[in-house]
């Protein structure tokens, strides 16, 4: 009796709920209708429109991607025709345009599929705080990229040292910067760290100073060594005459007499002058009777 009473109460609640009653009527009609009658109706009412939307979305996807590539190609040509736009700005703008156009393409496809984009935007807005906390590093890199583009601490083709890496800047994107090392390795550095950290830009100035320390043995003629080094500096056309080369005795070391040489060159000539002078000194010192010392120790036996 108690079970019958509970069933009757549940039945009364179901009868009072119009939504459940309508659903029950629909299920009853489908169950009482032959399969050959209601299945084509479902195909016509639901499946066909959904399939059409999916096909249109796929077409829009391919057309959108083709259009994005076309727009990027056109912008690249337009910027290349303008001599005032440098390669740094080009790469950054292309990366930004690609991200924005792809975002709008995704929104368009979602709208074609019948998903309410306003609800999606509201959902993203409500989850903005959580997303911002989760992507704090990415947002910092984006802000760093904007700062780099505004203040231009370096540009594409500059040789820089940052975050423990050295290389030529090959590309500046929205979130990171690409370096190409001298041994042809690609290093990707986050823009956030570049914008807030310390870096050295070797190619910022037109000239650089090249420093050497050359050693001669005790007993060798210092004036002769100084004259030889002065002659080598004067014979190299890449070494600037102003300021004059600096050649002085730096230190009386344990096993050698150290001579400091400092010259100024144009920045692109730095490494050529540096390695070339090392080779010349090694050859000429031997020919001039000057000895390049090696560590030694005198031991006196009693």
Q: What is the per-residue pLDDT across 40-57, written as a single tens digit (0 to 9) for each? A: 666 666 677 778 888 888
User: Across residues 172-192, what is the average pLDDT?
Assistant: 89
Q: 89-93, 157-161, 258-262: which range is least confident on average? A: 89-93
Tokens standing for 105?
Answer: 């393409």
Q: What local confidence, expressed as pLDDT, does residue 247 receive?
A: 94
Q: What is the pLDDT of residue 245?
A: 94
CB 199 within 8 A of CB 153: yes
User: What CATH number does domain 139-201 carry, 3.40.47.10, 3.40.50.10490, 2.30.30.60, 3.10.105.10?
Assistant: 2.30.30.60
Query: Is residue 219 over pLDDT 80?
Result: yes
Q: What is the mean pLDDT of the chain?
A: 79
Number of helical H runs and strand E runs in the chain: 11, 8
39 compared with 12, residue with greater pLDDT: 39
Token pair recorded at residue 183: 């041994």
Dihedral-angle region of residue 219 (phi above 0 means left; psi in -120 to 50 means alpha; beta otherwise): left
42 against 262, higher pLDDT: 262
- Alpha helical stretches, state H, 180-258: 191-196, 222-235
Read off the tokens for 233.
Answer: 């500096």
Among candidate residues 136, 75, 53, 65, the one with its CA nearest the CA of residue 105 = 65
What's the confidence (pLDDT) of residue 261? 96
Terminal-to-terminal C-alpha distance of the chain: 123
The angle at the Cα of 101, spanning 97 to 107, to the nearest 5 degrees, equals 150
Residue 274: pLDDT band (50, 70, 90) is very high
pLDDT recorded at residue 139: 74
Measured distance CA(104)–CA(110) in Å, rounded: 10
Mean pLDDT, residues 169-192 taken together = 89
Q: What are phi and psi of 175, to 5 degrees?
A: -105, -20
In this prediction, residue 2 carries a pLDDT of 45
The pLDDT, as a whole number, for residue 231 is 94
DSSP states along 125-139? HHTHHHHHHHTHHHH
| Residue, of 144 and 277, whose pLDDT is higher | 277
Enclosing H/E stretch for 146: helix 136-151
Query: Hey, how many other C-beta atoms are within 10 angstroms of the C-beta on 151?
Result: 9
pTM, rounded to two decimals: 0.55
- Structure letter (DSSP) for residue 233: H
CA-nearest of 253, 167, 154, 249 to 197 is 154
Q: Is 171 helix (H, G, I), strand (E, B) or coil?
A: strand
Q: Provide the 10 A C-beta neighbour count for residue 191.
A: 24
- The CATH number given to 39-126 is 1.10.287
pLDDT higher than 60, residue 20 = no
Options 3.40.50.150, 3.30.70.100, 3.40.50.620, 3.30.470.20; CATH for 207-287 is 3.30.70.100
Residue 113 has a pLDDT of: 75
Q: How far is CA 241 from CA 92, 214, 236, 262, 263, in A?
A: 40, 21, 10, 12, 9
The confidence score (pLDDT) of residue 18 equals: 54
**Distance (Å, whole) CA 258 – CA 293:** 10
Whether 39 shows a pLDDT value over 70: the answer reads no
For residue 5, is pLDDT > 60?
no
- Convert the pLDDT of each residue in 59-77 to its tens digit: 888 888 888 888 878 777 7
């Amino acid at each position: 009796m108690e079970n019958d009473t509970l069933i009757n109460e549940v039945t009364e609640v179901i009868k009072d709920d119009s939504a459940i009653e309508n659903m029950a009527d629909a299920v009853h009609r489908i169950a009482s209708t032959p399969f050959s009658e209601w299945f084509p109706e479902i195909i016509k009412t639901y499946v066909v429109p959904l399939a059409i939307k999916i096909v249109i979305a796929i077409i829009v996807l391919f057309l959108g991607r083709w259009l994005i590539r076309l727009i990027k190609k056109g912008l690249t040509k337009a910027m290349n025709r303008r001599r005032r736009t440098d390669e740094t700005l080009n790469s950054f703008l292309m990366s930004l345009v690609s991200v924005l156009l792809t975002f709008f393409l995704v929104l368009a496809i979602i709208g074609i599929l019948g998903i309410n984009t306003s609800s999606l935007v509201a959902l993203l807005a409500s989850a903005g705080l959580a997303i911002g906390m989760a992507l704090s590093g990415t947002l910092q890199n984006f802000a760093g990229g904007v700062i780099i583009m505004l203040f231009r601490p370096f540009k594409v083709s500059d040789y820089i040292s940052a975050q423990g890496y050295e290389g030529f800047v090959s590309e500046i994107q929205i979130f990171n910067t690409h370096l190409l090392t001298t041994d042809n390795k690609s290093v990707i550095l986050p823009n956030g760290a570049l914008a807030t950290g310390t870096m050295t830009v070797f190619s910022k100035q037109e000239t650089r100073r090249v420093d050497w320390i050359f050693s001669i043995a005790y007993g060798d003629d210092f004036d002769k060594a100084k004259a030889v080094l002065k002659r080598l500096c004067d014979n190299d056309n890449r070494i600037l005459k102003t300021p004059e080369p600096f050649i002085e005795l730096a230190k009386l070391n344990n096993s050698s007499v150290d001579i400091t040489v400092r010259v100024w060159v144009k920045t692109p000539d730095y490494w050529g002058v540096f390695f070339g002078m090392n080779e010349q000194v090694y050859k000429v010192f031997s020919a001039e009777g000057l000895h390049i010392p090696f560590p030694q120790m005198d031991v006196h036996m009693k």
